[in-house]
Structure 1
């Protein structure tokens, strides 16, 4: 058991340490490729000049699904800002995601890119093709990546700084700043 835990720890650390994203904070974000709108389809699908929270997830990713309530609460807190959109993107088919969407409530715009271009552009390591999800990107209204992280470190301090054009510090990424869970 101890060896299994050590092996799991080594895998997680190596995946986070050695899997390097193609883009970093301050880079221009690649164009987002969407093949299907799965839930909460917006009337206006032009996300240019919008602030975007882009969340990569999958039906098999328990951590991704566990973070949906936090993302829903954050979205609820910022719903009056019509220039700020929450997009949850998977590379899975609509048929595969349907059962998950029936049991897990997403407030975000849920989309799929079955070509895997978005996943490859944003998340996949250049050299090895490996990736870790969930992964969240905050992209400003000029198309610049302002924050990259895991959804469990995303909170109102980070989002407020993002929306106000202020530098987001590593110390802003704390679980203690998360919104209270829904009742």
Structure 2
């Protein structure tokens, strides 16, 4: 009996060791990064992009689905850490949150995980039917944009993060200006009058559709802004994204398909 237990332990240790070698070590010390909220937050914002394609690993380095990974971030007691790798694949692994960690870390991760899981579940679904007019009176609908890749930015005038990324998203529009199969549209909560005054000071190169508060809150069920959608040429949601950084990465990939 003792011999069987010893063999089992050796087997588990061997598999754990080879898994660690296969995926590499954590790029930061999981315990050290949890010592204060600001240090963890800086790492999370710079190194972890949950909207991107990545290999998801549980605490014992066994591969799990992305949905399971995000679910455990939303409802569990884990932080995601990227593992070192020599290839171009991203490996994110779950690590237990330490008992002495800042409680704000767990609460923030749960919210980030909840939002990322909600966004992930929208991928592959049809974008709701719509037909609106932008500030120039041009009709924007599923039919008028058929066969195009559509980039949609959801925002409102008093959303500071939404406005802060204007220079970046404008640069993205310029980058793809020769791609006639890529269109940039924005849905804004505010009235045409408010938007015209605001955009005269802070231009946005997207087509801007006003009075979209009810549509965004009820039809799209959004609770975080900005939110970006990328729709493929068949009108299905390819990605739902929380910021410019993740949008830039996802659009580069979608534009090559």
Does TM-score exceed 0.5, indicating one fold?
Answer: yes
Asked if the contact 1:49/1:141 (under 8 Å) is kept, the reply is: yes
Q: 2:244 maps to which residue?
A: 152
2:198, 2:236 → 1: CA distance? 31
Q: How does 1:51-130 map to 2 (within 5 A)?
A: 51-114=149-212, 116-124=214-222
Asked if 1:134 is matched to 2:231, the reply is no
Q: Give the aligned length.
A: 155
Asked if the contact 2:229/2:241 (under 8 Å) is kept, the reply is: yes
Asked if the contact 1:93/1:112 (under 8 Å) is kept, the reply is: yes
- For the pair shown, the structure with the greater C-alpha radius of gyration is 2
117, 128, 135: which one pairs with 1:38? 135
Question: Post-superposition shift, 1:150?
Answer: 1.9
2:108, 2:120 → 1: CA distance? 19
RMSD: 3.1
Asked if the contact 2:190/2:213 (under 8 Å) is kept, the reply is: no
User: TM-score with structure 1 length normalisation?
Assistant: 0.69
Higher relative contact order (CA 8 A, sep 6+): 1
Change (3 A) 1:147 1:7: same
Is there any run of 5+ residues in structure 2 with no aligned partner, and where? 1-101
- Would you identify which runs of 4 or more consecutive aligned residues in structure 1 move more than 4 Å? 6-15, 41-45
When structure 1 is superposed on structure 2, of 114-123 and 60-69 the one drifting more is 114-123
